[in-house]
Structure 1
Amino acid sequence: MELALLGRTLMKLGEAAIPTEGIGAHGTSEQSVIIVAADVKAHPGTPVKDIAARTGFPQSKVSACVARLREAGAVESEADPADRRRTLIRPSGKVSARVAEVRAADIDPVLAAALDDPDRLDEVKSALRLLAAHLDPGALTRIGT
């Protein structure tokens, strides 16, 4: 239970650090878009149906997330050469301005505000880097999720 709560807290902090100025309203949450983006990164060249199966999201939600990611320049799609009715999604080969902005976002202010002791910011960031090094998005596929 503690791991689930920690994961939710970290996800919400990550969402809070993502710049949102000028992107308009969307029907998909930042969290679902991040999950779909991580899945596409871990499984490039995958159809929406497979992303839906791995994430547990309805296919319509995955399609909406993919549309948002495509609009941001984070993913590209192409017809499956083996079955032209399917569309394959992969990370974009180039970094768009929006993707660069999100990647450059500074989490320090959000993280420091969330800590009960902001003086421990560097220690917490080191712990997060260690977790990220060992629990990449591929960790979910290693446990069959």
Structure 2
Amino acid sequence: MNGVELFLLGRALMKLGEDALPEPPGDAGRQAGGTRLVLVVASDVAAHPDTTVGEIAARTGLPQSQVSTAVARLKEAGSVVTAPDPADRRRTLVRQAGEVSARVAEVRATSIEQALAAALGADDPARLREVTAALDVLARNLLN
């Protein structure tokens, strides 16, 4: 595998992840990249507690308006909380919520099997188990 193949694999895995996630309640269909945007912001907030929208935008390279929208969606889902910055009350700090909301629990509990089976294009349980096991190995070795 070379760098280009790894990059393309990463993009394919991101698409699978998006396909596996349950639709938000009342959503009239996903916006292209909306889920990916929210997940990027959520992972940045997890890594940098008590951060501002501007700091998230600087670290991720996303426009501040998109970060603000993603923070609003995360707040609505109960994934993050916001509070005024005690050092500068004009700024708002963002951090992960102390408790897991029902929506976050639902997303975390969602299986990838249906999306993975659709991507593989076959109803071969052995192949599905093989690919799932390979993904488990990658996650175990590459994620924190």
Q: Report deviation, 1:131.
A: 2.2
Structure 1: distance between partners of 2:106 and 2:135: 21
AA aligned to 1:12 is: K
RMSD: 1.9
- Separation of aligned partners in 2, 1:6 and 1:22: 30
Residue equivalent to 1:17: 20
Alignment CA distance shift 1:82-1:134 (3 Å): farther
Shift in CA distance, 49/37, structure 1 to aligned 2, threshold 3 Å: same
3-state SS, counterpart of residue 23 of structure 1: coil
The equivalent residue for 2:67 is 62
Q: Post-superposition shift, 1:116?
A: 5.4
Q: What letter is aligned with 2:19?
A: A
1:135: which partner in 2?
Answer: 142
TM-score by length of 1: 0.84
Mapped to 2, the partners of 1:8 and 1:112 lie a distance apart of 17
Q: How many residues align?
A: 137
Q: Which moved more, 1:119-128 or 1:45-54?
A: 119-128
Structure 1 unaligned segments of length 5 or more: list them. Answer: 139-145
The one-letter amino acid paired with 1:6 is L
TM-score by length of 2: 0.85
Partner of 2:91: 86
Tell which structure's C-alpha radius of gyration is larger.
2
1:123 maps to 130
Written as runs of structure 1 = structure 2, the 5 A alignment for 1:34-113 is: 34-113=39-118
